[in-house]
Amino acid sequence: MTWADLPALYPMLIPAATAVLLLLTLTVRRDARLAAGVAMAGFIAGLLALAASAAELSHPVTMLLTVDRFAVVFWGILLFAGLLVSVFAVGYFRTLREPREEFYLLWLLAVVGAMVMAASAHFAAFFLGLELLSVSLYVLIAYPRMQSRAVEAGVKYLILAGASSAFVLFGMALTYAATGTLTFAELFTHLTLFPGDVLLLGGVVMILVGVGFKLALVPFHFWTPDVYEGAPLPVTAAVATVSKGAAFALLTRLLLGVIQAQPGHSTLAVIFTLLALASMIVGNLLALAQGNLKRLLAYSSIANMGYALTAFIAGGDAARVAIPYFFAGYIVAVLAAFGVMTQLSTPEHELQEVEDYRGLAWRYPWSAALLTVALLSLAGIPLTAGFLGKFFVLTAGMAAGRWTLVVTLVLTSGLGLYYYLRVITALYQAPLEGEQPTPPPLHLPHRLSVLTGLALAVLAALLLLLGVYPSPVLHLLAWP
Amino acid sequence: MILLALILIPLLGGLLAWWAERFGTRATRWVALVATVLQLGVAAGIWAVHPGGGQTWWLDYARPWIPQFGIGLHLALDGFSLLLVLLTGVIGVLSVAASWEGITVKVGFFHFNLLWTLAGITGIFLSFDLFLFYVCWEVMLVPLYFLIDVWGHEERHFAAKKFFIFTQTAGLFLLLGMLGLVLTVAARFHVLTFDYFTLMQHPLGLYPLARWLMLGFFLAFAVKLPAVPLHTWLPDAHTQAPVAGSVDLAGLVLKVGAYGLMRLTLPLFPEISRAFAPIALTLAVLGILYGAVLAFAQTDLKRLVAYTSISHMGFVLLGIFSFNTMAWLGVTIILLAHGLSTGALFIFVGILNDRVKTRDITRMGGLWARAPILGGLTLFFALAALGLPGLGTFVGELLVLQGTFLVQPLFAVLASLGFILSSIYALWMLQRVFFGPPAPHVEARDVKPHETAMLAAAIALTLWLGLYPQPMLDTARAGVAQMLSTPEGGTP
């Protein structure tokens, strides 16, 4: 590593340095607005620095990290999500009667951890990133510490994430025992040369348990609805976007090459296919009966990870476009949905039930419109980002001839429509004359800050732009 | 450019109508009316300028959209598409007029959805890029869902969801079929394109996978048409939708299914479609008879009309899978005539609902004495629906039966039984609603002037179709012949 390597890492180093700066600031002056401002400035500076990284593409920076186009794209997504979650947190935590400053500190660290994962080329970097992200999330989930539901969710996540980390570590140890190396590149060589090595496969499968936990793939999904429900809304958004994006980027780095090199019926391919099928089916089926919007979105995210896995299994050039595009669309839609919910909630009173949103369209038409578009995007309706994401995933799956996965995706998407429509129906249930009394007003101090309004507007614009005019992004994604 | 305008007028009109709500609901209604009239005017203008006859493709507009995937913004127009766009314009004006008094809540959002549905449907008739076609196909669904879900009748939430899930899932199979076709062509001929004309020049023939792809293309359109085992969304959606929604559904959305079969399924998969014809024809005859029998059993007036649609669409399916120009021209006329007459019947049910406050036939009766003009108008459309000579549907169904008889006499004979059944249900309905002992609580008011105007326009057009269909047949002929003259489709 030389000085010349440094600019490539700026997008990651800047938020990390901002965390230190924020820590120092807090010793001088405790002010939530200042802390949020510093964190947002850090994220924005990181996003700007991406331009510098983009100039230095396909660049191994030490043995641990690779800054290539894939990393840069995912860094962009993660930093963007980081920025927006901070914006949402400002409005959401305004009524919290406890220190709010550390939230932004932890959040910066979590995003840095996620970025390390997305760029890692070595198991050490993988584990460092994973733990940085997880440990920050333990605290973030339980941040409103006087609320039992948040603490319960935090403890649940702590125990399960801890256990899954142990699996990852053990898997790494087995891999090391089998190959004598910790770099992803060597792992790829060994896996393609000796696809039947049981020790190695065992190690990889154990690592998969850890990654599957973060992605909430079935059968590692049991924590998801509870943690989504218990965590404060901005953190739920974080778990749904940053944590999953990082884990999927890592999975792509670690195994996309292997899956592509091996025949369709290899052990790993079969395992992934089963995970994808189970996630699509179980996620969509369990979402059907949910009356709680957070839990519903939790199951929807499980299903969405199954869709993403379809592109992953398909491999090929199509997958290299489909995976980032799908994630960009997914993350924008999830952020928009949680953004609307956050903006109507406070830590003491979150609007969680679908019933709470009945008739929202006639009171807050813009919020309801954005939530509608976000849900339609998650359902994959054209003119939204989610449709093109799903379209590219389908293209990848069909190009690789993965018919079981593709047909399952289509059928479960049809199933999924039902619960998205249920929410949309509730949003637009007009208080028609004589039919039902006007629903109870949302007892909230509804005042949209300029910043939140701007963030939601950007999300709305992105949802439509990514759904209508994908050419520039596709151009960006063209693999080096 | 003018093709883009045909789509943009309702799109922008919808936004404008929503915005105009702040100046009162009258402003919204007028904006919507102007937009639909404008669209109809532009389409009629195209018809007037182009004499038709000779060339197949009248207009063409192509721009790249997502070049990485070979997707373009390709719009084109032939006589067949033009007739359907004209129908869209007419039905659009009618549905705005039909909701002039019936819709009183959220008027802006209602007209926005109405116009965006029209835009999506127009887009379908003009798209010659498979991806664009699919986008328009889906864009039409969401506003239509809102039309049913927000302004519909008592069971509207259920009906709206059922409609959406049926058509959307079928649509995803269409998407799979499209992707499969494009990728197979890309693999075999090394051209990655969603362009209709380019794909037509690279026929797959009897390629093994093509069988499945054709099924995807068939399924989506058969749900929309609807063909019989896939029809169950239709009675619910038609019954629960507001008047304008039912008019749109019956007048236009069902036509989209027929259009898709004629434009995409058969030209893209000619050999396999021919092999598939016996199954499709059986479904068609089943639909004709089953729809008519069920229509006879309904007591809900809207549901009755909905089932007659299933019966008529059976004739459409029959004609399409007879593979000859005569039958296809007949189908074209049925599409136009059914759109008008069924649209008018739904408007009439709306008017009746306004007076009687029920759609239950058993609670009506004796209306003729109090509202003779309404009765007369209804008699006209009921006769049009049952296929009385001189009215549009008759011409269409006769051509279809003749065309089918040439190739599949057995199916034609069976289908002609539908004529008997349709006379029974139409006359039975008239008898129950207008004659017999008068029902209590019936408001004596007859039709209002704007209602008369609406229905008079529909009558004039139906008569035109029935007495002098030659202009329509001439306009459609070149396009229809081109779609049947596969596999080499001429580019514009």
Residues of B in contact with A391 (CB under 8 A): 175, 179
Interface of A with B in 376-415 (CB under 8 A): 376, 381-383, 387, 391, 394-395, 398-399, 406-407, 410-411, 413-414
Spatial CA neighbour of B384 closest among B369, B371, B395: B395
A429 contact partners, CB below 8 Å, separation of at least 6? A358, A359
The CB-side HSE value for B187 (13 A sphere, CA atoms) comes to: 13
SS3 B78: strand
Model pLDDT, residue A108: 95
* Cα gap A318→B174, rounded to integer Å: 20
In a domain, A1, yes or no: no
Spatial CA neighbour of B263 closest among B492, B480, B85, B62: B480
Tell me whether B149 touches chain A (CB under 8 Å). Answer: yes
Tell me whether A465 touches chain B (CB under 8 Å). Answer: no
Token pair of B427 as six digits: 């006359």
Helix (H) or strand (E) run with residue A444 in it: none
- Angle subtended by helix axes A244-261 and A184-193, to nearest 10: 40
For the cut 90, the answer to whether the pLDDT of residue A296 exceeds it is yes
Tell me whether B183 touches chain A (CB under 8 Å). Answer: yes
**Residue in B124, B175, B190 to test binding to A, most A beta-carbons within 10 Å:** B175
State which residue of chain B sits closest to A435, comparing Cα positions.
B154
Task: State the average pLDDT over residues A30-37.
Answer: 90
Can you give the three-state secondary structure of B280-315, one letter per residue? HHHHHHHHHHHHHHHHHHCCEHHHHHHHHHHHHHHH
Interface of A with B in 129-148 (CB under 8 A): none
In a domain, A12, yes or no: yes
Residues of B in contact with A394 (CB under 8 A): 175-176, 179
Min Cα distance A344 → chain B (Å) is 23
Q: Which residue has the tokens 């990514």?
A: A466
Spatial CA neighbour of B426 closest among B348, B316, B318: B348
Tell me whether A288 touches chain B (CB under 8 Å). Answer: no
For the stretch B139-150, what's the b/e string if a residue is b when 16 or more beta carbons lie within 10 angstroms of its beta carbon? bbbbbbbbbbbb
State which residue of chain A sits closest to B179, comparing Cα positions.
A395
Model pLDDT, residue B479: 82
pLDDT in tens, A200-217: 889 999 999 999 999 999
Cβ(A112)–Cβ(A132) under 8 Å?
yes
Token pair of A362 as six digits: 């006639």
Query: pLDDT category, B429, cuts 50, 70, 90?
Result: confident
Query: pLDDT category, B407, cuts 50, 70, 90?
Result: confident
For the question of an ipTM over 0.90, the answer is: no
Q: Into how many domains does chain A fold?
A: 1
| Stretch among A396-405, B230-239, B275-284 having the lowest mean pLDDT | B230-239
Residues of B in contact with A470 (CB under 8 A): 66
Q: Do B160 and A394 touch (CB under 8 A)?
A: no
A438 or B330, which is more confident? B330
* Cα gap B93→A430, rounded to integer Å: 26
In a domain, A2, yes or no: no
Strand A59-61 relative to strand A65-67: parallel, antiparallel, unpaired? antiparallel
Token pair of A171 as six digits: 């898997």
Min Cα distance A417 → chain B (Å) is 7
A301 contact partners, CB below 8 Å, separation of at least 6? A216, A224, A240, A244, A283, A334
Q: Which residues pair with A61 in a beta bridge?
A: A65
Helix (H) or strand (E) run with residue B406 in it: helix B392-407
In a domain, A371, yes or no: yes
For the cut 90, the answer to whether the pLDDT of residue A294 exceeds it is yes
The CB-side HSE value for B180 (13 A sphere, CA atoms) comes to: 25
* Cα gap B338→B246, rounded to integer Å: 13
* Cα gap A25→A19, rounded to integer Å: 10
Interface of B with A in 13-52 (CB under 8 A): none
Helix (H) or strand (E) run with residue B65 in it: strand B57-66
State which residue of chain A sits closest to B176, comparing Cα positions.
A394
For the cut 90, the answer to whether the pLDDT of residue A94 exceeds it is no
For the cut 90, the answer to whether the pLDDT of residue A285 exceeds it is yes
Min Cα distance A322 → chain B (Å) is 12
Tell me whether B369 touches chain A (CB under 8 Å). Answer: no
Q: Do B157 and A411 touch (CB under 8 A)?
A: no
Q: Which residue has the tokens 């801890």?
A: A162
pLDDT in tens, B450-463: 778 888 888 888 88
Task: State the average pLDDT over residues B123-127.
Answer: 92
Model pLDDT, residue B487: 46
State which residue of chain B sits closest to A417, comparing Cα positions.
B165
State which residue of chain B sits closest to A410, comparing Cα positions.
B172
At A221, the amino acid letter reads H
State which residue of chain A sits closest to B170, comparing Cα positions.
A414
Tell me whether B73 touches chain A (CB under 8 Å). Answer: no
Token pair of A265 as six digits: 């019926």
In a domain, A320, yes or no: yes
SS3 content of chain B, % helix, strand, coil (to 5): 75, 5, 20
Q: Do B175 and A391 touch (CB under 8 A)?
A: yes
Residues of B in contact with A395 (CB under 8 A): 69, 179, 183
Min Cα distance A411 → chain B (Å) is 7
Can you give the three-state secondary structure of B174-212, one letter per residue? HHHHHHHHHHHHHHHHCCCCCEHHHHHCCCCCCCCCHHH
Query: pLDDT category, A443, cuts 50, 70, 90?
Result: very low
CA distances from residue A429 to A355, B16, B321 in whole angstroms, order as listed: 11, 23, 43
Q: Which residue has the tokens 């994962």?
A: A117
Percent of chain B's residues with pLDDT above 90: 10
**Residue in B138, B154, B184 to test binding to A, most A beta-carbons within 10 Å:** B138
Other beta carbons within 10 Å of A317: 12
Nearest to B179 among A382, A395, A422 (CB): A395
Query: pLDDT category, B54, cuts 50, 70, 90?
Result: low
pLDDT in tens, A174-208: 999 998 889 998 888 888 888 788 898 899 999 99
Give, rounded to a whole angstrom, the gap between the first and last alpha carbons of chain A. 22
pLDDT in tens, B179-190: 889 988 888 888
Cβ(A429)–Cβ(B106) under 8 Å?
no
B38 or B366, which is more confident? B38
State which residue of chain A sits closest to B148, comparing Cα positions.
A425
Task: State the average pLDDT over residues B95-114.
Answer: 84
Cβ(A237)–Cβ(A339) under 8 Å?
yes
Nearest to B176 among A394, A421, A470 (CB): A394
Min Cα distance B282 → chain A (Å) is 27
Spatial CA neighbour of B151 closest among A433, A462, A217, A262: A433
In a domain, A258, yes or no: yes
For the cut 50, the answer to whether the pLDDT of residue A441 exceeds it is no
* Cα gap A465→B8, rounded to integer Å: 18
Query: pLDDT category, A439, cuts 50, 70, 90?
Result: very low
pLDDT in tens, A310-322: 999 988 888 888 9
Helix (H) or strand (E) run with residue A418 in it: helix A403-427
Nearest to A398 among B138, B164, B179 (CB): B179
Residue B297, burial from CB neighbour count under 10 angstroms (0-12, 13-18, 19+): exposed
Tell me whether A471 touches chain B (CB under 8 Å). Answer: yes
A172 or B481, which is more confident? A172
Q: Which 8-state DSSP code applies to residue A262?
A: S
* Average pLDDT of the residues of chain A: 88
Spatial CA neighbour of B387 closest among B414, B426, B358: B426
Nearest to B172 among A410, A421, A422 (CB): A410
Model pLDDT, residue A440: 45
For the cut 70, the answer to whether the pLDDT of residue A235 exceeds it is yes
DSSP A41-75: HHHHHHHHHHHHHHHT-SEEETTTEEE-HHHHHHH
* Average pLDDT of the residues of chain B: 85
Q: In the A/B pair of chains, how many CB contacts fall below 8 A? A: 74
Q: Which residues pair with A433 in a beta bridge?
A: none
Give, rounded to a whole angstrom, the gap between the first and last alpha carbons of chain B. 15
In a domain, A150, yes or no: yes
Cβ(A131)–Cβ(A120) under 8 Å?
no
| Stretch among A74-88, A412-426, B467-481 having the lowest mean pLDDT | B467-481
Tell me whether B142 touches chain A (CB under 8 Å). Answer: yes
Nearest to B138 among A362, A382, A432 (CB): A382
**Residue in A317, A376, A377, A394 to test binding to B, most B beta-carbons within 10 Å:** A394
Sign of CA dihedral B9, B15, B17, B19: negative
Q: Do A433 and B105 touch (CB under 8 A)?
A: yes
Cα–chain center distance at B217:
18
Q: Do B172 and A413 touch (CB under 8 A)?
A: yes
Domain that holds residue A173: 7-477
Model pLDDT, residue A475: 82
Residues of B in contact with A425 (CB under 8 A): 149, 157, 160-161
Q: Which residue has the tokens 């700007």?
A: A48
B325 contact partners, CB below 8 Å, separation of at least 6? B403, B477, B480, B481, B484
Q: Do A417 and B165 touch (CB under 8 A)?
A: yes
